[in-house]
C-alpha cells in the first residue's frame, strides 16, 4: 500500500499540547493526516490550520460543536473517502497509540484483513502504565461485549484501528447509535456481522502525559447500556429464527 493512500484520522478536542508532535510523528511515516476538531476552545483548530498551511499532507475538518467520538469519526471517514483514501486509520491524538505501530496495522490489511485493530489484549499486547483495577475494568468490559454480542474480538473498545476503503463502505458508520467510545464496539460488532475479516495486532497502550482524558462516566454508561441492548436484541432475533 502506497503510504500517501493512507489517511490517519485524528479527532481532537483541547489537544493543542499534543497536536504538532503527533501530526509530525504520523507524517514522518509518509501517511496523510486529517485532524477533525470539535471547535476546541484551547486553540487546537487554529494550530491545526497553521500546520496544514505548512504541510500539504495534513488536512483539517472543523466541526461546529463537541458531539462525541462517533460523529467526529463519521465526518472524518466521509472526508477521507471523498479524497480517495484506500486505507483509513483511527488514532488518538495523545500518543497513547504509538505512531511507529501504524505500518503494522497497514501491513495487516495488505495481508488480507479488512479491519486491523491495535489490540491491548491480543497475545503480545499490553497496558504497562495501568494499575490493576483499571486493567480489570477494561478487560471485564471487553469480555462483556464479547459475550453479549457474540464477537471473537478481544479488544472491541480499542481506538487504534485501520479499515480498508471497501470495509468502510460496507459499514453503517453514519447510522451508528453510539456517540462515545461505544462507537468502537459498535463498529467492531458491525464488521463481524458483515463478515469482514478482523485481525488484532498487538500493541502497547501508554497513558497520555499531556492534556486531559475525555473518558468520563457518561461515556462508559452509554457504551455498557448499548452493548446490553444490542446483545439482548441479537439474542432475541436468534431465538425467533431458531423457533421458526
Predicted confidence at residue 1, as pLDDT, reads 66
pLDDT digits (tens, 9 = 90+) for 64-100: 999 889 999 999 999 999 999 999 999 999 999 999 9
The CA distances from residue 67 to 11, 63, 89, in Å, are 11, 9, 20
Predicted confidence at residue 241, as pLDDT, reads 67
Q: What CATH number is attached to the domain comprising 104?
A: 3.90.550.10
Q: Residue 194: which domain range?
A: 3-242
Q: How far apart are CA 33 and CA 56, in angstroms?
A: 10
Mean pLDDT of 239-244: 65
Q: How far apart are CA 228 and CA 76, in angstroms?
A: 28
End-to-end CA gap in the chain: 47
Predicted confidence at residue 213, as pLDDT, reads 65
Where is average pLDDT lowest: 4-18, 110-124, 128-142? 128-142
3-state SS, residue 32: strand
Q: Pick the residue with more confidence: 178 or 87?
A: 87
Predicted confidence at residue 207, as pLDDT, reads 85
If you write DSSP's letter for every residue of 127-192 in order, what string do you get?
A: -TT--HHHHHHHHHHHHHHHHHHT---S-TT---EEEEHHHHHTS-GGG-S--STHHHHHHHHHHH
pLDDT above 70 (res 238) = no
On whether the CB atoms of residues 126 and 51 are closer than 8 A, the answer is: no
**CA 236 to mean position of chain CA atoms:** 29
Q: How far apart are CA 143 and CA 226, in angstroms?
A: 15
3-state SS, residue 85: coil
Is 17 exposed, middle or buried (CB count within 10 Å of its CB: 0-12, 13-18, 19+)?
middle
Q: How many domains does the chain have?
A: 1
pLDDT class of 11 with cuts at 50, 70, 90: very high
Check residue 10 and report its DSSP letter.
E
pLDDT class of 210 with cuts at 50, 70, 90: confident
pLDDT digits (tens, 9 = 90+) for 38-58: 999 999 999 999 999 999 999
Amino acid at each position: 500500500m502506497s503510504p500517501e493512500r493512507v489517511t490517519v484520522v485524528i479527532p481532537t478536542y483541547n489537544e493543542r499540547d499534543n497536536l504538532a508532535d503527533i501530526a509530525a510523528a504520523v507524517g514522518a511515516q509518509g501517511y496523510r493526516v486529517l485532524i477533525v476538531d470539535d471547535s476546541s476552545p484551547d486553540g487546537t483548530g487554529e494550530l491545526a490550520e497553521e500546520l496544514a498551511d505548512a504541510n500539504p499532507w495534513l488536512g483539517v475538518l472543523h466541526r461546529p460543536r463537541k458531539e462525541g467520538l462517533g460523529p467526529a469519526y463519521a465526518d472524518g471517514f466521509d472526508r477521507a473517502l471523498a479524497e480517495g483514501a484506500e486505507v483509513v486509520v483511527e488514532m488518538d491524538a495523545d500518543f497513547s497509540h504509538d505512531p511507529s505501530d501504524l505500518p503494522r496495522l497497514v501491513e495487516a490489511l495488505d495481508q488480507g484483513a479488512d479491519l486491523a485493530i491495535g489490540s491491548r489484549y491480543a497475545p503480545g499486547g499490553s497496558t504497562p502504565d495501568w494499575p490493576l483495577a483499571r486493567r480489570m475494568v477494561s478487560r471485564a468490559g471487553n469480555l462483556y461485549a464479547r459475550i453479549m454480542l457474540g464477537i471473537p474480538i478481544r479488544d472491541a473498545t480499542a481506538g487504534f484501528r485501520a479499515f480498508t476503503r471497501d470495509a468502510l463502505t460496507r459499514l453503517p458508520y453514519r447510522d451508528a447509535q453510539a456517540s462515545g467510545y461505544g462507537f468502537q464496539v459498535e463498529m467492531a460488532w458491525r464488521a463481524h456481522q458483515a463478515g469482514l475479516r478482523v485481525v488484532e495486532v498487538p500493541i502497547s497502550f501508554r497513558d497520555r502525559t499531556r492534556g486531559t482524558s475525555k473518558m468520563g462516566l457518561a461515556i462508559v454508561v452509554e457504551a455498557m447500556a448499548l452493548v446490553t441492548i444490542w446483545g439482548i436484541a441479537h439474542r432475541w432475533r436468534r431465538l425467533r429464527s431458531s423457533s421458526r
